[in-house]
Structure 1
Amino acid sequence: MRIKNANLQHDRLSQTKSMVLIDPGEVTKQISRHRRNHSQHYVTEHTISKDVLVSQNKEGILNKTKITDKGKKLRKNWTTSYAVLSGKKLEFYKDAKELTPNMKSATKPDCIDLCGAQIEWTSEKSSRKNVFQITTVSGNEILLQSDTDDTIQEWFQAIRNTIDSLGKGQSFPSLGINVWKSSSTELLHQGFEPKEKKNELRKSLVFKLNYSASDTSDRNRVKTRLKKFISRRPSLKTLQEKGLIRDQVFGCNLERLCRRENSTIPHFVTTCIEAVEKRGLDAGGLYRVSGNLSTIQKLRFVVNQEEKLNLDDSQWEDIHVVTGALKMFFRELPEPLFPHSFFEQFVEAIKIQESGLQVKAMRNLVKQLSPYNHDTMKALFKHLRKIVVNASTSLMSTQSLGIVFGPTLLRPDSDPGSMAVYMVYQNQIVDLMLMEFDAIFC
């Protein structure tokens, strides 16, 4: 069946099973007579009858985030926008005021072309409820959300109806082509590209639409392989037994370090104490003044690499670097010099009011310590006693050293109480052990 317009003799439409009527007033230029077969015919998109597309107009507030831009993954950044659904576009404004004629926005609103898009509910890509995803033909993925169930259902239905009314539409921005297909008639710009170009574009679009799914599959495959690798890798203990990994000095368990060095006092502690007593007892603010942190870290690296350490070297000339490294060693012990299991007992002992009983309780607790903790503690406090003797030049009293070493040598396994209260007890314990050194370590 063929319908001709008397005023436009050259216009015609090929009809197979159904027919699309064009408003004569809308046709402004000649339509191509070329057709590939009797079931397909192409004209420009703007000549489509308005009755063919179902108009879904809607506006309101939605939460929006873009997670993919042309195939490139983006970080989720949820924003509240005023969404407007009109025709085949979904636009987003900061608020409803931008829609008024008197308000001119400095930037163009975000716009989603729904032609050829896909819409689906998703619960895997966000922890929020009521989230659905729109995937455009250009490879963009947008998540939309609302806390109100009825609102999000209405938006989902309206957008889906718009996408369905557009049929199998596809957009080719790079070529300036918009295609719309109905069940029996196809309309296209008359400057259509060759078949080879069409196939390439179709493959490109299919790749973009499937990008997200394939990317998720690849990530899952990588995660599975990593889990298998981690489950098969040898334990740290096995690597240490084979000699592939050696324990470092800083951060190593005190007993393990001493056993490795066949001593009850770590070699690094002894070396630092000897260096300070040799050339630094008259230094002001000993153990209170901080040395250069980068130099201390360098010294730490040398010790951990088991390189031969010579603290008489000029690069360790600053005695505060040596004292800083010694404090760092005790601070990085997995369990402090005063073990966690003894912390509460030392606190209870320092609370004793009677001086003689207080010292006796401290002496009994010190004797219960392991040989490694006991001998290392005795060597350290014996060294600190020498600094107190030279307080006139070192400017460090027992109270000053208690403030410096209290939190370093004593700390609870967990901290349910007040840190300020614990700090007072920590300082008092170190202060008492320095003043009563001979009685406690007899």
Structure 2
Amino acid sequence: MQKSTNVDTSMETLSSSHQGTGAVQMRIKNANSHHDRLSQSKSMILTDAGKVTEPISRHRRNHSQHLLKDVIPPLEQLMVEKEGYLQKAKIADGGKKLRKNWSTSWVVLSSRKIEFYKESKQQALSNMKTGQKSESVDLCGAHIEWTKDKSSRKNVFQITTLSGNEFLLQSDIDFIILDWFHAIKNAIDRLPKDPSCPSRNLELFKIQRSCSTELLSHHDSDMKEQKPEHRKSLMFRLHHSASDTSDRSRVKSRLKKFITRRPSLKTLQEKGLIKDQIFGSHLHTVCERENSTVPWFVKQCIEAVEKRGLDVDGIYRVSGNLATIQKLRFIVNQEEKLNLDDSQWEDIHVVTGALKMFFRELPEPLFPYSFFERFVEAIKKQDHNTRIEAIKSLVQKLPAPNRDTMKVLFKHLTKIVAKASKNLMSTQSLGIVFGPTLLRAENDSGNMAVHMVYQNQIAELMLSEYSKIFGSAED
């Protein structure tokens, strides 16, 4: 049975100073009541189940984000950068000092945070899939540094967050903890220093802005044509349609077309919009293009380091600013001329970081895959002189670009070692830095830790015995 009730429905926009959202709301008043006590406020946008949804701002940019938040997943859910077992101790919580208790944790590093799991690797992975909570460290604005006064253990570094939490991480294996330090530092450097630290990166924001602009362009024209007294009703229709399934499908369709319309790298190269790359190309391809056996970028970096970096503490070990390194990488890939004496490359660690990145991004490492096992067998030989002769024989069999580039690089590194009293970079330190960068197996089947030991030893031997393997250091 339907009651005959006169319902006066009116729309009003709440003041931003009271609500902060600017949501359009509808007030339903009972005509039989003489007072406003019985009045009720309800959101105008309801889900299928009749529940009140989150108020939507009138602002077009906020509206586009509302449309796209179900289409594009947050970046935090995308990729794990590094994971493994480390010793962990939390020594401060919100600035309050805690008793130091070391424990073994399964550590997972993503683009913005570190998560610690107490369980085994298998249980931790299961928890990650089911969404169970773990101890998490937000890296935005965090600070990382090596520390000796916080623990008697060796190889300890500290992470301090903006919220005042402090963690110590440690491993007895030098190359493992060094790799973790650089990975976390690079992750921190990629994040903005602003404490607000947006959770989506710049590229995702550009896609959102492009798609939302295209999606709402027809609404802009409608808004201009409408008279002021009709705009309120138009905003209602706009917000109401935004929650409709058909609108979401249209957003997905437009986003798909946007992605598929992007031209391929080959097309851009053929049109001359993108030149042949230096980073990420095969060594022999770069050398053939330059009519040389040693890439000019490698020569330039070495020249710059020998000019102003031989005495710098931690040269090649300390990481440069990743954003600046990426800027240098872009310029090298797009331009023919590069002046490393320019003030923007003043930090020598940016130059060394770019040089290491060049070797890391080679599709096939400086030591070709086909030679990997032979170099490992050579370094395993018991007699020192026999090892040297075996390594020397393999070097002579390498393709000219690999052999000549290797010779130039290791000659340069001998000059770094000669200044070890000032730069604190020994043969062993450089072996740890360059071993995995220059030498790796094509298909690593669970022997990464074992291979890394041999990689370091091979690099150390070629550095310490340079003159016997490559000839005189004065060549």
* TM-score of the pair, normalised by structure 2: 0.45
Structure with more helix by fraction? 2
Larger Rg: 1
* TM-score of the pair, normalised by structure 1: 0.48
